[in-house]
């Protein structure tokens, strides 16, 4: 069985919701799609609402869709926690185009130098000291524990990856951030269920999704929606933080 637990459903500017993040579970193992801050608080609160206990130690790895902070600001914390409290590296499933700037453009300033004592020398660390990187490739899937991950690029400001995750004989699609892309929608709609963003600006307008055929909309749930979105009036179901969905 494959289940999905939204830990956050909001956008970068939300004051109502956590930033978009989904915890996937199959065979007793958990996989995160994106990792905003404060990820441990999100795991605890989402798990409590769903009636499951989940913390960083239960997480097999993180799929990183892109490097906007509302999707990856928790990576420093999860990297530190994994290294110093769990004594292991956190696995990252990430496309090389996204990986290219992860260390130098995002994590290096806060994670490169560490001291073992206040008056001691600083150690110099790299990405590989915190994370076990598993590259995503658009041409072939990545197997990670019970999960098989297919990936595809989206239309966004920076390199961004959508995925289809297969486990337990079921498939969940996750759009990540994207402008409206009929080809991407068709690819995601091959899944049993898929989560698609909707928002303002260079994101996907709700009106475009609402105009899709009913059979496509029946498989779709909305995520990354703005605070002013009329969830009650939407003809497509909106995801709820802390509600567990069976795929």
Give the per-residue pLDDT at 107.
98
Query: What pLDDT is attached to residue 122?
Result: 87
Tokens of 97: 């185009």
Higher pLDDT, 240 or 115: 240
Query: Is the pLDDT score of 117 beyond 90?
Result: no
52-66, 110-124, 142-156: segment of lowest average pLDDT: 110-124
Q: What is the tens place of the pLDDT at every residue in 68-78? A: 999 999 999 99
Mean model confidence pLDDT for the chain: 97
Range 193-220 average pLDDT: 97
pLDDT (tens digit, 9 = 90+) per residue, 81-93? 999 999 999 999 9
Would you state the pLDDT for residue 196?
Answer: 98
Chain CA centroid to CA 84, Å: 23
- In this structure, are residues 195 and 173 in contact, taking their beta carbons and an 8 Å threshold? yes
180: how many CB neighbours lie within 10 A of its CB? 17
Q: Is 77 helix (H, G, I), strand (E, B) or coil?
A: helix
Q: What pLDDT, in 10s, does the model give residues 1-50?
A: 999 999 999 999 999 999 999 999 999 999 999 999 999 999 999 999 99
Instruction: Taking residues 207-216, report their average pLDDT.
Output: 97
Domain layout of the chain by residue ranges: 2-246
Domain 2-246 carries which CATH code? 3.60.15.10
Annotate 91-155 with DSSP letters as a single string: EEEE-HHHHTTHIIIIIHHHHSEEESSTTSPEEE--HHHHEEEEE-BTTB-EEETTEEEEEEE--
- Ramachandran angles phi, psi of 151, nearest 5°: -140, 160
Label residue 186 exposed, middle or buried (CB < 10 Å: 0-12, 13-18, 19+): exposed
Average pLDDT for residues 143-166, to the nearest whole number? 98
Task: Report which of 169, 193, 174 is spatially closest to residue 184, judged by C-alpha positions.
Answer: 174
Q: Are 139 and 152 in contact (CB under 8 A)?
A: no
Confidence (pLDDT) at 131: 98
Distances 102 to 16, 122, 126, 156 between C-alpha atoms, Å: 28, 22, 11, 17
| Per-residue model confidence (pLDDT) at position 235 | 97
Please check the confidence at residue 241 and state whether its pLDDT lies above 90: yes
Q: What percent of the chain stands above pLDDT 70?
A: 100
Evaluate if residue 115 carries a pLDDT over 90. no
Mean pLDDT of 57-73: 98
CA max distance for the chain: 65
Residue 120 confidence (pLDDT): 83
- For the cut 90, the answer to whether the pLDDT of residue 116 exceeds it is no
What single DSSP character describes residue 172?
Answer: E
> In the predicted model, is pLDDT for residue 243 greater than 90?
yes
| Model pLDDT, residue 181 | 98
């Amino acid at each position: 069985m494959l289940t999905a637990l939204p830990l956050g459903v909001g956008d970068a500017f939300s004051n109502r919701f956590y930033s978009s993040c989904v915890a996937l579970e199959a065979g007793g193992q958990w996989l995160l799609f994106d990792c905003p801050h404060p990820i441990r608080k999100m795991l605890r609160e989402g798990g409590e609402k769903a009636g499951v206990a989940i913390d960083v130690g239960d997480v097999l790895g993180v799929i990183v869709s892109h490097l906007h902070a509302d999707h990856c600001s928790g990576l420093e914390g999860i990297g530190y926690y994994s290294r110093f409290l769990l004594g292991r590296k956190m696995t990252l499933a990430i496309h090389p185009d996204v990986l290219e700037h992860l260390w130098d453009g995002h994590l290096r300033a806060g994670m490169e130098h560490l001291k073992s004592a206040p008056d001691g020398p600083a150690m110099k660390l790299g990405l590989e000291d915190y994370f076990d990187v598993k590259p995503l490739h658009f041409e072939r899937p990545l197997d990670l524990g019970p999960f098989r991950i297919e990936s595809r690029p989206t239309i966004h400001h920076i390199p961004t990856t959508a995925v289809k995750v297969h486990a337990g004989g079921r498939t969940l699609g996750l759009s990540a951030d994207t402008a409206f892309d009929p080809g991407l929608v068709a690819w995601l709609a091959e899944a049993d269920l898929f989560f698609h963003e909707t928002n303002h600006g260079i994101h996907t307008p709700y009106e475009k999704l609402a105009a899709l055929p009913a059979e496509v909309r029946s498989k779709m749930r909305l995520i990354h929606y703005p605070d002013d979105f009329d969830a009650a009036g939407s003809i497509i179901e909106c995801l709820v933080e802390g509600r567990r969905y069976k795929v």
